[in-house]
Amino acid sequence: MRTRRIHIVGASGAGVTTLGHAVADALAIPHHDTDDYFWLPTAPPYQQRRDVADRLRLMHEMFVDRPDWVLSGSLDDWGGSVLTRFDLVVFLYVPKAVRLHRLQEREAKRGLASGETEDFIEWASHYDDGTREGRSLPRHEAWLKTLPCPVLRLDGTRPAAELAAAVVSMPAAQPIA
């Protein structure tokens, strides 16, 4: 039986989670997000990281060994046991100005403290140049070259429905009839 295990990755504000939901809905398969495994539940959210071993254990318990799923979010430096399961990786790229505008709107809706929001947006503003610790375009590009599956690169400024249609039309996303 062929699987549909699709991973969607990109910078914060690129629309990775939005596209993950759209693809999962279009294919009628479960969607998971790395943030749900990376972060411990806290109030406010995104304050305390979960240990890598616990992240991977939870992911394997919840979905990794199942045949069909969509995973959104970055795991390039900690998800080694998961990446061999991908049938397709989708990389979304969005120019910095668009991403930062999206992030400012999103963070304002979340209602986090302004200092936390400013620190996060400052960190995210360095995605393209890779001068901050963590997720970056140079690191993603290097990681994408190591993958044993097809990589689909998409312009994340396009509408989510159009992007989802492009992903769903890929052979790796198609079920065998």
With respect to residue 73, please indicate whether it lies within any of the assigned structural domains.
yes
Q: Does residue 115 fall inside a structural domain?
A: yes
| pLDDT at residue 46, rounded to an integer | 81
Q: Checking DSSP bridges between strand 88-93 and strand 31-33, what pairing results, if any?
A: unpaired
Is residue 172 in a domain? no
Rounded Cα gap, residues 89 and 152, in angstroms: 6
* Amino acid sitting at position 175: P
Alpha-carbon gap, residue 175 to 168, rounded angstroms: 10
- Evaluate whether residue 175 is within a structural domain: no
Q: SS3 sequence, the chain?
A: CCCEEEEEEECCCCCHHHHHHHHHHHHCCCEEECHHHHECCCCCCCCCECCHHHHHHHHHHHHHCCCEEEEECCCCCCCHHHHCCCCEEEEEECCHHHHHHHHHHHHHHHCCCHHHHHHHHHHHCCCCCCCCCCCCHHHHHHHHCCCCCCEEEEECCCCHHHHHHHHHCCHHHCCCC
Q: Tell whether 160 is covered by a domain.
A: yes
pLDDT in tens, 150-159: 999 999 999 9
Give the structural domain span for 89. 4-165
Q: Classify residue 53: in a domain, yes or no.
A: yes
The CA-atom distances, in angstroms, between 72 and each of 77, 101, 111, 113, 141 are 15, 21, 23, 25, 17
Q: Is 101 inside a domain boundary?
A: yes
Q: What per-residue confidence (pLDDT) applies to 175?
A: 67
Ranges under pLDDT 70 in the chain? 1-2, 111-116, 175-177
Alpha carbons 62 and 54: distance in angstroms, whole number: 12
Token pair of 108 as six digits: 């304002």
Tokens encoding 175: 């079920």
5 in the Ramachandran plot: left (φ > 0), alpha (ψ -120 to 50) or beta?
A: beta
Q: How many domains does the chain have?
A: 1
Radius of gyration of the chain (CA): 16
Specify the pTM. Answer: 0.89
**CATH at 55:** 3.40.50.300
